[in-house]
Chain A
Amino acid sequence: AQSVTQLDSHVSVSEGTPVLLRCNYSSSYSPSLFWYVQHPNKGLQLLLKYTSAATLVKGINGFEAEFKKSETSFHLTKPSAHMSDAAEYFCVVSLNNNDMRFGAGTRLTVKP
């Protein structure tokens, strides 16, 4: 069985400081991993995806995530937070299209 756990329901950072959103997964097989972002009153938008080609994945808006098999983690980071990054972030693990598991989400607040 596969599952995903987002370790923080809410993260608050100051503008210009680093962002770390944590995600751990459980999967019997080699998974695909995704991060999505949801701004208020919008659908989810893909930030980045892990495809097993490289363990460090770069996404849009300066975000990146590192796949660590030994730690079963796929944490999302950004060196410097911007006000526009305030949103809900979802980590997703997938064996195939029929079985995508969404994390509970992490709400990111960015203070001026």
Chain B
Amino acid sequence: DAGVIQSPRHEVTEMGQEVTLRCKPISGHDYLFWYRQTMMRGLELLIYFNNNVPIDDSGMPEDRFSAKMPNASFSTLKIQPSEPRDSAVYFCASSLVGRLSPLHFGNGTRLTVT
């Protein structure tokens, strides 16, 4: 199993540009999560999906952020327009059903908005 795959690993963009982060979860996992990690705030849950359906997006900072999961093997997190304060590492994670199932994280996308 290749694990959770995120792309790109690094993204540098200018303020106002659209940014799209991609995630391929582990095959067979029913849950997919998007997290953001910063020094100031630590790990923050942005949104999670169950069977491709968004369940809780209360962590999405504002309307500039959107996430989709068109099928079981692909999800995107889009920021439009991007701002310098969006600079962070964004992680995607997936897991099986049930509270005993651990999260499997990708290696993250480091986003820098100048």
Q: Which residues of A contact B (CB under 8 A)?
A: 32, 34, 36, 41-46, 49, 51, 90, 94-98, 100, 102, 104-105
Contact = CB atoms under 8 A, between A and B. Distances in A.
B106 A94 contact: no
B41 to A, nearest CB: 10
Contacts of A95: 99
Nearest to A48: B102
Contact of A98 (B55, B105, B110): B55
Contacts of B43: 90, 102, 105
Contacts of A51: 100
Interface residues of B, number: 25
Contacts of B106: 43
Interface of B: 4, 31, 42-43, 45, 48, 50, 55-56, 91, 93, 95, 97-108, 110
Contacts of A105: 42-43
Q: Determine chain B's interface SS by DSSP, over half rule.
A: strand
B107 A97 contact: no
B99 A41 contact: no
A97 B91 contact: no
A43 B4 contact: yes
A95 B55 CA distance: 16
A97 B42 contact: no
B110 to A, nearest CB: 8
B55 A49 contact: no
A61 to B, nearest CB: 16
Nearest to B41: A104
Contacts of B42: 102, 104-105
B4 A97 contact: no
Given A44-B91, A90-B43, A104-B42, A97 B31 contact: yes
Contacts of A46: 102-104
A104 B42 CA distance: 6
A97 B31 CA distance: 8
A34 B91 contact: no
Given A97-B95, A98-B56, A102-B43, A34 B107 contact: no
